[in-house]
Amino acid sequence: MKRALLFFSSFMAVAIIIYAMAIIPNYTAFKTLFQNVDGMTEGSEYVANTYSLADLIRFIGKKPEHVSIVSISIDRPDSSLYYEENRPRTMGSLGNLILLYAYAQAVESSQLDPNKEVRLEDLSRFQLPLISQNAHDGAIQRLITEESPSFTLEDAVHAMVEFNDLVIADFLWAKLGASTLQFRMEELRKSLNLRVTELPLPNAALYMAIAEPASFLPEFSPKRDSLRINSSLRAVFHTKALESFYQKTADLEQFNALIASFKENRINQNFMQERDALTLFPQTTASELAQIMRYLLLDDQLNSNVQARILRALGWPNGSYSVTRSFESYFAQYDSRMGLLSGLDFGTSIYTGERRIQVVLFDELPVAFWHHMSANHMQEDFQQRLIWDPALYQTTKLAL
């Protein structure tokens, strides 16, 4: 009996130690998982049937509410693809295209010095715990090495695009200033007759606002029949979120309390609520983003130095094996956040020499399906192959 009791006690002690070793270091992850059991099964029926790009094309054809595509052939305009191109969707990091335009103009007019050194603490003040942490860590590892412990503003801008770093995007937003960005946004609106695309806002301001719901936050909940928030309500939300952001970042005590809250509870929303809340963020359409791209990258009326600087920032994929085997040149910006996968790119196929400007927007995706697509980089693969794979392009065009 004593031996049995001793064995059982030893077994339980070892089990508790192993359990503690597994749970304690990963407490936040386990807590998040348990809080999102429903979300992790949402859309699982699509996961089971979507393991190839052919499967993904079928999903796109059946679910136009989730996807917009514009693929414009520069050399053969009649061979272009438009699908749900005018449907408003969350812009996310694709708004960096507007930041890049304002940045390039500011450099060209000598308002900003691209070679000015940036301190790490200049970026850190825009960092919210557990928001796009891996992307920011990756950007910093690229920027700071033993061989090169310092970096410039131009270096930071390039890392912003390559790693989709929300922290550097917010730093650049503040560096340019709201009035400059609004002026450049109005330039684009007038030149291109934009009707939907909204001004990009600091990511931190938006996440802070949805983390601490206030009177200006429109009500949202998972699986609503209509998740779209009308433009006037969203405009009020944007204004109030920005005001609150300025107030809290200016008050050290408030800001420290906010940081502590994010460390403990992140944004206080489950996965489905977080996905739905993105409808409050600035919006655009695939059609308008494609117009902006074509103007910024190819229009003869725009300063060539401005175009070259934007292209250099977007050209981070060039040189990688996966790109050089299929493209003469390739320029891109991607975004991935809860329920949203999007990308804009401009590439020249190594096989046909055809140039394409593209915008692909997936949003309000079921959570489990979003995790599946994100983990497999399906959207990026699909978008790139639309340029260099004529068979996939024809299949997609016929299906849509």
Q: What is the pLDDT of residues 329-344, one digit of tens each?
A: 999 999 999 999 999 9
Residue 176 main-chain phi, psi, to 5 deg = -75, -40
Contact 326, 388 (CB under 8 A): yes
Instruction: Give a yes or no: residue 127 inside a domain.
Output: no
DSSP, residue by residue, 276-314: HHGGGS-EE-HHHHHHHHHHHHH-TTS-HHHHHHHHHHH
* 277-303 burial code (b ≥16 CB/10 A, e <16): bbbbbbbbbbbbbbbbbebbbeeeebe
pLDDT at 38: 53
pLDDT at 12: 46
Query: Do 254 and 293 belong together in one domain?
Result: no
Instruction: Give a yes or no: residue 110 inside a domain.
Output: no
pLDDT at 193: 96
pLDDT at 41: 74
pLDDT at 17: 47
pLDDT per residue over 275-304, tens digit each? 988 988 999 999 999 999 999 999 999 999
22 has a pLDDT exceeding 70 = no
Contact 275, 338 (CB under 8 A): yes
131 has a pLDDT exceeding 90 = yes
Side by side, which strands form the sheet with 327-337?
81-83, 67-73, 355-362, 340-349, 327-337
pTM value is 0.89
What is the token pair recorded at 137?
């860590």
Quick one: pLDDT band at residue 232, thresholds 50, 70, 90? confident
Mean pLDDT of the region 63-82: 95
106 has a pLDDT exceeding 90 = yes
Cα 56 versus chain centre, distance: 20
Q: Where is the domain boundary, 257, 281, 305?
A: 281
Query: Do 211 and 305 belong together in one domain?
Result: no
Question: Quick one: which H or E segment has residue 256?
Answer: helix 252-265
157 has a pLDDT exceeding 60 = yes
Mean pLDDT of the region 197-208: 95
Instruction: Give a yes or no: residue 18 inside a domain.
Output: no
What's the Rg (C-alpha) of the chain?
23
Q: What is the span of the domain harbouring residue 266?
A: 201-281
Query: Do 263 and 297 belong together in one domain?
Result: no
Instruction: Give a yes or no: residue 382 inside a domain.
Output: yes
Instruction: Give a yes or no: residue 179 inside a domain.
Output: no
Quick one: pLDDT band at residue 11, thresholds 50, 70, 90? very low
10 has a pLDDT exceeding 50 = no
Mean pLDDT of the region 126-143: 93
Q: Where is the domain boundary, 240, 265, 281?
A: 281
Query: Do 223 and 241 belong together in one domain?
Result: yes
pLDDT at 36: 58
pLDDT at 15: 39
More confident residue, 232 or 373: 373
Question: Quick one: which H or E segment has residue 324?
Answer: helix 321-324
Mean pLDDT of the region 177-191: 96
Quick one: pLDDT band at residue 235, thresholds 50, 70, 90? confident
Instruction: Give a yes or no: residue 140 inside a domain.
Output: no
pLDDT at 214: 60
* 165-177 burial code (b ≥16 CB/10 A, e <16): bbbbbbbbbebbe
Query: Do 274 and 292 belong together in one domain?
Result: no
Quick one: pLDDT band at residue 145, thresholds 50, 70, 90? confident
Q: Where is the domain boundary, 239, 266, 281?
A: 281
Quick one: pLDDT band at residue 217, thresholds 50, 70, 90? low
Query: Do 334 and 271 belong together in one domain?
Result: no
Quick one: pLDDT band at residue 18, thresholds 50, 70, 90? very low
Query: Do 229 and 291 belong together in one domain?
Result: no
Contacts of 261 (CB under 8 A, 6+ apart): 211, 212
Query: Do 214 and 275 belong together in one domain?
Result: yes
Query: Do 319 and 380 belong together in one domain?
Result: yes
Query: Do 301 and 230 belong together in one domain?
Result: no
Instruction: Give a yes or no: residue 132 inside a domain.
Output: no
Per DSSP, the three-state class of 190 is: helix
Query: Do 227 and 262 belong together in one domain?
Result: yes
Query: Do 290 and 388 belong together in one domain?
Result: yes
322 has a pLDDT exceeding 60 = yes
264 has a pLDDT exceeding 50 = yes
Q: How many domains does the structure of the chain reveal?
A: 2
Instruction: Give a yes or no: residue 153 inside a domain.
Output: no
More confident residue, 252 or 159: 159
Q: Please choose, from the candidates 225, 243, 241, the residue with its C-alpha nearest in 3D space to the C-alpha of residue 233.
A: 241
